[in-house]
Amino acid sequence: MKHNFGAGPCILPQTVFEQAAKGVLDFNGLSILEVSHRHKDFVAVMEEARELVKKALNVPDGYTVLYLQGGATLGFTISALNMTRGGKAGYINTGVWASGAIKEAKIVGVDVEVLASSEDKNFSYIPKGYAIPSDLDYLHYTSNNTIYGTQFQEQIKTTVPLVCDMSSDIFSKEINVSDFDLIYAGAQKNLGPAGATLYIVKEEVLGQFKTPFMPTYFNLAKQHEKESMLNTPPVFSVYVAMLNLRDLIATGGVKAAEERNNAKAGLLYNEIDNNPLFASKVAVEDRSKMNVAFVLKDEYAGLEEAFNKTWNDAGIVGLKGHRSTGGYRASLYNALPLSSVQVLVDVMKEFATKNA
Ligand code: PMP
């Protein structure tokens, strides 16, 4: 039994893996991998996958749900193109992914103003207290910074249209969708396998873009018109997302997932704060409940190899920090059980007993 703390693609519920495997062998007599995306049985999957997102997040009327391709990386471009009105767009720079969104918006000609950044301290906190000009076309931010383990804990209050990259915390906690004009998220954390990218978009913003460059695929108005089937969608990823959303709702929905996630994060941060060997470099009030970043304290840096061997031997995988930050990162996505976090905590405790 492995304990998968990987940052994404990542663990999904075992029952979802089993049902997905079954669908590969038999989806109404065919394999889900060979069925036409225009077959009524797959159209029904797409419809259910869209509806279940609405159900899980209490999406109000007037919003559309789409499954596209290209990952959140293409979401940087798609969100900018669809939300630009030819004026200025505000961005909060909280690290690699937010910087990617800024870069791609500029590439397609959006006039970007970086309103705040946490680059001065290696993106170890969430900027606060910045001004938001009221005439922005939109404000873009990254709700959870997968690499650094920071997360916005409070909803940004503004009358400016909000655009959010929620790749690594969507479905992990309750949100108020009506606060946003556009949400996007790669599937491969809390939603399903890599391949699909989720968009939740306020219908009234569709087609309002002011840009000379708008390829058909990027135009969310067209995607909405075609009910997320403008071209061949990522069939398998959407199918498994549907299975996973069914499971999420059957296990108490996002509210119950949030309670479980709080318990997991609480357990691990408590250990980091009390263990003599380890430390968190993230501002306490901005700590992510999805990606917990920690390091061996400088005076114990020599123990790195020994610690790596210890957690490997305990069946833990995916604990290495992002290549740009080093250290450790435990991703606690929805499907990771509390018992896996307990295994990690026990490993850390025992390691400290032997080495501190
Ligand atoms: N945004 C965030 C917050 C992410 O965590 C990631 C990937 N880990 C991305 C964007 C890029 O996503 P993708 O690989 O789906 O393009």
169 and 200 part of one domain = yes
pLDDT, tens digit, for every residue of 210-243?
Answer: 999 999 999 999 999 999 999 999 999 999 999 9
232 and 303 part of one domain = no
Residue 76 and residue 126 in contact, taking contact as beta carbons nearer than 8 Å = no
210 is known as an active-site residue: no
Ligand 1 contacts CB of residue 328 (under 6 A) = no
**Residue 302, both tokens:** 């020599």
How far apart are the CA of 7 and the centre of ligand 1, in A? 10
Residue 115 host element (H or E): strand 111-117
Of 221, 250, 279, which marks where a domain is finished? 250
- From the CA of 186, give the closest atom in ligand 1: 15
Of 250, 272, 302, which marks where a domain is finished? 250
- From the CA of 145, give the closest atom in ligand 1: 3
Ligand 1 contacts CB of residue 168 (under 6 A) = yes
> What gap in Å lies between CA 224 and CA 261, rounded to an integer?
33
262 and 244 part of one domain = no
156 and 283 part of one domain = no
> What gap in Å lies between CA 231 and CA 240, rounded to an integer?
19
Of 227, 250, 273, which marks where a domain is finished? 250
Domain span at 136: 14-250
The pLDDT score that the predictor gives to residue 1 is 85
211 and 275 part of one domain = no
Catalytic choice (189, 202, 264, 289): 189
165 is known as an active-site residue: yes
> What's the structural domain count of the chain?
2
Quote the distance between the C-alpha of residue 291 and its chain's center. Answer: 10
What CATH number is associated with residue 214? 3.40.640.10
Q: Does the predicted TM-score (pTM) go above 0.80?
A: yes
Q: Measuring CA to CA, which residue among 318, 316, 325, 277 is closest to residue 298?
A: 277
181 is known as an active-site residue: no
What CATH number is associated with residue 350? 3.90.1150.10
The pLDDT score that the predictor gives to residue 301 is 95
The pLDDT score that the predictor gives to residue 28 is 96
Under-50 pLDDT residues of the chain: none
- From the CA of 8, give the closest atom in ligand 1: 8
